[in-house]
């Protein structure tokens, strides 16, 4: 095993940071968030211009690795709704941005817009999935990439107070509850991000044991 390496979790979303840190806690690495190394927000956010979650994750990871000199772990994730032809998709975090100028209320605005768009759509046609793509970059190349997916359905009204984003509306039929009704441990066990981070953890352990610099090809299909 190499000496302890510092890895940047390239997000300012505290909920994402908590989820990722919880799953990677058993690996001898130092994890820092953007808010920890850049509390004054001197590093501007990159534009997300990719057409897929994978493209955005790769671009963000490379950008923040180059900006900080650290290995950077970035995710791009979102909700894909079949009845909306895949929307909100890569625009999940800013789905209702034109209706909300307050970042603190964007989740509520996104959920409200989603419910309006699905008004009158029956249960069997409200199928959806959460997708998460993770990329670790050294600034020059992607070192590790993993993907996680969870299938479900969009509820007719919000349920639960845990989680964030679309969790109050994402119903897991097998459990008859939304991901916002699950505890953090229960959610991490089944969520798209939990799946992707666990795959990442396994590959990172192997990666650090084999070589601190050799890239590992992505085995996930986009």
Q: What distances in angstroms separate CA 34 from CA 21, 53, 72, 86, 202, one per listed residue?
A: 13, 20, 10, 30, 24
Q: Which of 35, 38, 75, 76 is catalytic?
A: 76
Compute the distance between CA of residue 48 and CA of residue 60 in angstroms, rounded to an integer.
8
DSSP secondary structure code for residue 88 in this structure: B
DSSP secondary structure code for residue 118 in this structure: T
Is residue 76 among the annotated active site residues? yes
109 neighbors 99 (Cβ within 8 angstroms): yes
106 neighbors 94 (Cβ within 8 angstroms): yes
Omega prior to 210 cis, within 30 of 0: no
Catalytic residues: 76
């Amino acid at each position: 095993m190499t000496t302890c390496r510092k890895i940047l979790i390239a997000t300012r979303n505290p909920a994402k940071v908590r989820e990722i840190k919880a799953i990677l806690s058993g690996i001898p690495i130092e994890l820092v968030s953007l808010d920890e190394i850049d509390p004054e927000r001197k590093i501007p956010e990159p534009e997300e211009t990719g057409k897929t979650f994978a493209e955005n994750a790769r671009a963000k990871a490379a950008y923040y690795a180059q900006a900080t000199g650290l290995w950077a772990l970035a995710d791009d994730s979102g909700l894909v709704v079949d009845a909306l032809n895949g929307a909100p998709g890569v625009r999940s975090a800013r789905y209702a941005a034109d209706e909300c100028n307050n970042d603190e209320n964007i989740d509520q605005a996104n959920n409200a817009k989603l419910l309006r768009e699905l008004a009158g759509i029956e249960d069997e046609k409200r199928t959806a999935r959460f997708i998460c793509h993770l990329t670790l970059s050294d600034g020059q190349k992607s070192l590790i990439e993993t993907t996680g997916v969870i299938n479900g359905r969009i509820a007719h009204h919000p349920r639960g107070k845990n989680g964030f984003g679309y969790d109050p509306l994402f119903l897991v039929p097998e459990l008859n509850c939304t991901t916002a009704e699950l505890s953090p441990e229960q959610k991490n066990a089944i969520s798209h991000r939990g799946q992707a981070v666990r795959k990442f953890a396994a590959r990172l352990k192997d990666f650090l044991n084999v070589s601190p610099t050799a890239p590992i090809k992505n085995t996930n299909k986009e």
